[in-house]
Amino acid sequence: MPTEARETTVTETVSQTPVVPATPGEHPQKTYTKKKAIFRAYQVIWYILGVIEILLVFRVVLKALGANPNSGFTNLIYSLSNPLALPFRGIFQTTVVEGSVFEYSTLIAGAVYALVAYGIVQLFQFIKPTNPQEVQEKVDTQ
């Protein structure tokens, strides 16, 4: 008797497993390829945002600590982050205290870039919804 109850439980569990249907009329491999490309685009967007945010954080910290702008690393960070911070310069006044500079506009730039990246990802999500679990399920079933 216990064996029959066990078999029923296994059958019920298998029948309750959700099956992700492919897009009607589209080959499953094509659907998988599209979703994988969109998911990869999400990763690229977040990676680019990460690089931008790191540059801006380094800029804020180096300026706040009064780093020597003629130093190689400091010059590199300022050169790379300047085009990113430039559109936001002048929104707020820069605070200067004994060689330390605090740029509020750079913080605003970081927030704006994060919102833009989030908006782009949400636009892609609106056009063709996908998530990491869905992509992984497709990989496992193919």
pLDDT (tens place) for every residue of the chain, 142 residues total:
454 444 444 444 444 444 444 455 556 677 777 777 888 888 999 999 999 999 999 999 999 999 999 999 999 999 999 999 999 998 988 888 888 899 999 999 999 999 999 999 998 888 776 666 766 665 555 5
| Cα–Cα separations (whole angstroms), residue 124 to 34, 37, 42, 45, 112 | 12, 11, 8, 11, 19
What residue spans define the domains of the chain? 29-141
Do residues 103 and 82 lie in contact, with contact meaning Cβ atoms separated by under 8 Å? no
pLDDT in the model for residue 19: 45
Whole-model pTM: value is 0.68
